[in-house]
Amino acid sequence: MPRNVRNYWLELSVDGKATRVETGPQSATGGFALTVLMRDSGGIARALTVRGMATSTGELFMDVEGLGDSFAEPKVSTNTTDPARPHIRIQAKR
């Protein structure tokens, strides 16, 4: 866990990359936007966009959108390591 966390902190690791990406907004009112693209039937589709934002009153919220027509309905199941945290799987249609 980083020492100085503002509104959000993002950690990313990718197979084949030696360095993890760890970052967050610079200001106390900052936010972020993350887009995940996924190979689908030979093309590339936006699977998911996540935005973290702060309102003018300082309230924090996250907005998750995505899943175009090329994706199956997301499957929500219980996380096996922590049942209190749901697990969402996004899968391209086959």
Note the pLDDT tens digit of each residue in 44-56.
877 788 888 888 8
Global pTM? 0.67
Report d(CA 93, CA 22) in Å as an integer: 32
- What are the extents of the domains in the chain? 10-89
Report d(CA 52, CA 63) in Å as an integer: 6
Give the pair of three-digit tokens for residue 19. 């360095």
Measured in whole angstroms, the distance separating CA 77 from the mean position of its chain's CA atoms is: 17
Note the pLDDT of residue 94: 46
Contacts (Cβ under 8 Å, ≥6 apart) of 16 = none
In terms of pLDDT, which residue wins out, 76 or 33? 33
Q: Is the separation of the CB atoms in 71 and 91 below 8 Å? A: yes
DSSP state of 71: B
